[in-house]
Structure 1
Amino acid sequence: MSEIIDWSKLAEVEKIKYDSNYLRGTLKESLADPVTGAIANDDTQISKFHGIYQQHDRDLEKERKRQKLEPAFSFLIRVRLPGGVTSAAQWLQMDALADTHANGTLKLTTRQAFQLHGVIKKKLKATIQGINAALLDTIAACGDVNRNVMSHANPAESALHAEVYQLAGDLSAHLMPRTSAYHEIWLDKQKVADSKEEIEPIYGNRYLPRKFKIGVAIPPYNDVDIFSQDLGFIAIEEQGQLVGYNVTAGGGLGSTFGIPEAYPRLADVIGFCTPEQAVEVAEKIVLVQKDNGDRTNRKQARLKYTIDRNGLDWFKAEVNQYLGYDLQPARPFNFSRNGDRYGWKKGEDGKWSLNLFIEGGRVKDSETVKLKTALREVAEKVKDAQFILTGNQNLIIGNTQEKDKVNRILKKYGVWPLQLSGLRQNMIACVALNTCGLAFAEAERYLPTLISKIELILEEHGLLKQEIVIRMTGCPNGCGRPYLAEIGFIGKSLGHYNLYLGGNFNGTRLNTLYKETLSEDEILAELRPIIADYADNRQEGEGFGDFVIRKGYVKETKEGKDFKH
């Protein structure tokens, strides 16, 4: 133990990280323990840095307790996938691993990454080795480090896509932990570090105070929800060329019921940098947070609180000092939406990309839609296609010359084309129950059903095609970015949700609590008159979120500190 650090004043995880010997902990011993399906308590924290969350099946919890059995433990594995791009071969490998090592499904996350669910402990190592065999990995997909870097998804929508995707990869690589622990534990590489030598030039021996998220956007599309990120880069184009990036900092959507000092916050635009400066700017902002973030209280440890605690002017000055030069003034930009644009689009290079709707981001076969089978066949037969995960839990079959072949396959399995309401095509739902230990209520398994009932109201008023952003999470931690939705639901208890209104269609405004702890019948009763009013009295081009603020249903939330649950 250090004689300088007073561990009693710090969050417990800080010492766990310090004592882990650069993320090794006792993971090898935990994996080898045959007595339990779980890993040791401290290792549950360290395993996150390796892309793993320990969970258990909450649907079985009461019965297993009755039988005096330990919980039905399993693990979520998250793949690090900067920019969301995979090859057909990588898609096939993930598809196969889902069947042989997980629960048979793939989850496409809101950070453009894969998640495998239901992996039991004895299959963890083989699963991670299988992921690495496809030239993918899971390191830094979770934990107190920079996580998966998001970027604009559709290569057909902007000639800047290749440069922005490259930046996402460069940022991810530069901010990767340097410890060899991952390769030793999962890939059987020889151990090379036995002591507390300085092997983490950016992170040090305690890494960051909390998680850190980065996104790169290309206006007019805000499909990465740039203002929800700790750090964002907004591509600035002049005369068809990328001239640099506006830099944003201080976003983050996690909050906690009953703790008003834990709140969602949107990032501020703090300046402009050239493309050559972007990686350095990211590193220095990470270092400012590492050196100044709150390590005593994890609910106050994100960059957003560091900025609010010290002031935005202080933060800008610190960043400039760390850089040794000043960021330039920000340049004009405009966002039109934060959802995906579905269907085929032809890029300037003549290649086609198809944005597909994936309900809840869950790739599986149902009785009517054989989605997983269809995508497997596309990957097998359309070798030139890329499979690009979007930040809205959807999938792009991208950069292909074989549009007709893709269409035939998808049509055969009932996947495409689909008739979707404007509400459903702008949905996001986190996993929530049955596996997330933080969830108070359902989300992924319930939101489609609720949307079907809201659609009946929309149809009554001729609004079925009206695009409205709707999002649901099982708790207030913000994984599905519910605070940016025009209609947001956050689980309060089983079958009951807080209803939030007033986000906007381009992801630049937080929503506001409208009613608390509503049942389904109460949700529909509250929305029905508002939807009717919107149908009759909206202005031309007025979005639903803008309307509810103009009509006074809720007041605009202008600062994260003003947000109330």
Structure 2
Amino acid sequence: MTDAKSPFVVEGKLADNERLKRESRHLRGTIEQDLQDPLTGGFTADNFQLIRFHGMYQQDDRDIRAERAKQKLEPLHNVMLRARLPGGVITPQQWLVIDKFAEEHSIYGSIRLTTRQTFQFHGVLKPNIKLMHQTLNKTGIDSIATAGDVNRNVLCTSNPVESEVHQQAWDWACKISEHLLPKTRAYAEIWLDGEKVESTEQEVEPILGDTYLPRKFKTTVVIPPQNDVDVHANDLNFVAIAENGKLIGFNVLVGGGLAMTHGDTSTYPRKADDFGFIPLEHTLAVAEAVVTTQRDWGNRVNRKNAKTKYTLERVGVENFKAEVEKRAGVTFAASKPYEFTGRGDRFGWVEGIDGKHHLTLFIENGRILDFPGKPLKTGCAEIAKVHQGDFRLTANQNLIVAGVPADQKDKIEALAVQYGLMQPSVSKQRLDSMACVALPTCPLAMAEAERYLPDAVTEIEALLDKHGLANDSIIFRVTGCPNGCGRAMLAEVGLVGKGPGKYNLHLGGNREGTRIPRMYRENISEQEIMAHLDELLGKWSAQRQPDEAFGDFVIRTEIIKPVIDSARDFYD
């Protein structure tokens, strides 16, 4: 699909992933043959990568890897599946199916809510993979294109309060997701025993192209004033503009992304650029135009520089924008005014304009499991058995019991309290903290994240209390590697894993999620991190201006320089 004559196409030897996609027969590969191979619990050769396009990553339990090697056993190969849930909306009936499968067929027995506003199964062994897909399909869920070089699960602000605008925005998130999906029948053929296409030559990928996108692509729909989906972490964002309670169109932001590579200064986090406003009727055309421009102009030679953010830096924002306008047949108008005031979830009960009630439950790290004295998984299932509305999974790894009639509030709350889903005291700091999965399952993890976060937050709580800041908090995030899943590069304090027990400490993001933090200290231990935070929180307490957030304080007092243009000054 690439125009070889375009001056914006990167010339050179293509990355091997391009060969893999070209030879995959539209993502089929030899996955079916691998499924029948009893000699290994994993997938071989190209299939290891191809299953990602079907929403799965091959993993193993790194905690027991060495012990299995001593026993001359291969690693305990299993897959993690990430579901496709545009906007994170799910029915109680679907939840009960998910709960049952996790209980019966996952090594870990848990459901993991993710920063991509969906759920993940971890630890599913090869004999149960097909059953997993078919079980989800029967309840109306799939995992098509939740990983790989495609447009992934489309996020939407979890804000059921403004019910009409939210419903409209969510509808558009679903439409965008469907419009940008791969058209190949590979998923249905392999996992659902669908009828096979006689010749894959007949298949066409009109939007993604026969070799799909150069790299992963992320899209959101966001409803101000909440930036709960972190627009600057995503390639394409539709900022909802409403008038008189009705959605009239979107401001379009393009080119955000947080991933980088340690030691490679050609990689960096980047904020999205504002292209302008479009009325609703142009939404799908613009989404398609952004994707196809990135498809044709993105770097297929160097995958580390293949994301949309690097394409914009290389070809120029105005050139990219003009190409989108040409392909979509639209002209962007000036952006409509909007403001982000925060990005956290609203915990506890809130009432929507339609009179329905919504209960947001804090799920630390998004891990839904029955813990000692806190049987969260059982509690969610019990609520699902009686709930008449739906569930909303948030991009902050929490769960909303949405659409509760007034006469059902007491019953839902009683169950939430009984099973530890509503606790009498959760600090503001814990609510404002987040981590990716990392060890033991993520193969990319360099340091702990999910397992480190609870203790790290406890230490920060103590430091806040020490300095008279117990009623305050900082946006604190931990990611086990520099790939950005925990969105640490939009935190006031962000830790990026460097090695076992070692992190790069970044400071200076803001509460609204519109500023990237800068590295303050490199490759330091957990003890050193807390020592630095002790000193910095002390200064914040003594020198802050009224209501000044921590990230703003460290910038104002020149403890750290702000990141103005990350492509040029992030490493200064």
| Contact 2:11/2:301 (8 A) holds in 1 | no
| Contact 1:7/1:15 (8 A) holds in 2 | no
The AA in structure 2 aligned to 1:491 is G
Q: Deviations over 1:131-166 (max 9, x none)?
A: 111100011111111000000112124541000000
Q: Does 1:86 align with 2:90?
A: yes
**Alignment partners' CA distance in 1, 2:471 and 2:300:** 47
**Alignment partners' CA distance in 2, 1:157 and 1:548:** 35
User: What TM-score, normalized by structure 2, do the two folds share?
Assistant: 0.96
Deviation at 1:58, TM superposition (A): 0.7
User: What TM-score, normalized by structure 1, do the two folds share?
Assistant: 0.97
**Alignment partners' CA distance in 1, 2:298 and 2:139:** 36
Q: Deviations over 1:138-197 (max 9, x none)?
A: 111111110000001121245410000000000001011111110000000110142323
Deviation at 1:333, TM superposition (A): 0.7
| Contact 1:421/1:466 (8 A) holds in 2 | no
**Alignment partners' CA distance in 2, 1:415 and 1:391:** 18
Aligned CA distance change for structure 1 residues 429 and 6 (closer, same or farther; 3 Å):
closer
- What is the aligned partner in structure 2 of residue 208 from structure 1? 213
**Alignment partners' CA distance in 2, 1:422 and 1:560:** 30
- What is the aligned partner in structure 1 of residue 540 from structure 2? 534
2:392 counterpart (368, 377, 388):
388
Q: Does 1:43 align with 2:50?
A: no
Aligned CA distance change for structure 1 residues 495 and 157 (closer, same or farther; 3 Å):
farther
The AA in structure 1 aligned to 2:368 is V
Q: Does 1:30 align with 2:37?
A: no
2:73 counterpart (57, 69, 72):
69
**Alignment partners' CA distance in 2, 1:164 and 1:288:** 24
Give the alignment of 1:49-60 within 5 angstroms.
Answer: 49-60=53-64
1:9 counterpart (4, 13, 16):
13
Give the alignment of 1:327-338 within 5 angstroms.
Answer: 327-338=332-343
Consecutive unaligned residues in structure 1, runs of 5 or more: none
DSSP-derived class of the 1:284 partner: helix
Give the alignment of 1:92-491 within 5 angstroms.
Answer: 92-102=96-106, 103-157=108-162, 159-382=164-387, 384-401=388-405, 402-491=408-497
| Contact 1:154/1:353 (8 A) holds in 2 | no
Which deviates the most, 29-38 or 158-167? 158-167
Aligned CA distance change for structure 1 residues 158 and 485 (closer, same or farther; 3 Å):
farther
**Alignment partners' CA distance in 1, 2:470 and 2:373:** 22
**Alignment partners' CA distance in 2, 1:265 and 1:47:** 28
DSSP-derived class of the 2:201 partner: coil
**Alignment partners' CA distance in 2, 1:342 and 1:193:** 52
| Contact 1:31/1:121 (8 A) holds in 2 | yes
DSSP-derived class of the 2:202 partner: coil
Deviation at 1:446, TM superposition (A): 0.7
**Alignment partners' CA distance in 2, 1:195 and 1:137:** 22
Deviation at 1:410, TM superposition (A): 1.0
| Contact 2:169/2:247 (8 A) holds in 1 | no
| Contact 1:157/1:345 (8 A) holds in 2 | no
Aligned CA distance change for structure 1 residues 418 and 276 (closer, same or farther; 3 Å):
farther
DSSP-derived class of the 2:208 partner: coil
1:514 counterpart (517, 520, 535):
520
**Alignment partners' CA distance in 2, 1:559 and 1:79:** 34
The AA in structure 1 aligned to 2:458 is S
The AA in structure 2 aligned to 1:547 is F
Q: Deviations over 1:208-267 (max 9, x none)?
A: 000110011111100011121100011112232222110000001110001010111110
Deviation at 1:418, TM superposition (A): 3.7
- What is the aligned partner in structure 2 of residue 563 from structure 1? 570
Report how many residues are paired.
562
| Contact 1:198/1:204 (8 A) holds in 2 | no
**Alignment partners' CA distance in 1, 2:342 and 2:10:** 47
**Alignment partners' CA distance in 1, 2:203 and 2:140:** 28
Q: Deviations over 1:438-478 (max 9, x none)?
A: 11000001111111011111112222221321100100000
| Contact 1:80/1:148 (8 A) holds in 2 | yes
| Contact 2:363/2:421 (8 A) holds in 1 | no
Q: Deviations over 1:275-301 (max 9, x none)?
A: 111111101100100010000111011
User: 4+ residue runs of structure 1 moved beyond 4 angstroms?
Assistant: 4-8
**Alignment partners' CA distance in 2, 1:531 and 1:161:** 38
**Alignment partners' CA distance in 2, 1:501 and 1:132:** 43
The AA in structure 2 aligned to 1:170 is K
**Alignment partners' CA distance in 1, 2:473 and 2:280:** 34
Q: Deviations over 1:457-505 (max 9, x none)?
A: 1112222221321100100000111100001001111011111110000
Deviation at 1:385, TM superposition (A): 2.5
| Contact 2:184/2:203 (8 A) holds in 1 | no
Which deviates the most, 234-243 or 405-414? 234-243
Deviation at 1:6, TM superposition (A): 12
**Alignment partners' CA distance in 1, 2:198 and 2:29:** 13
| Contact 1:154/1:398 (8 A) holds in 2 | no
| Contact 2:242/2:248 (8 A) holds in 1 | yes
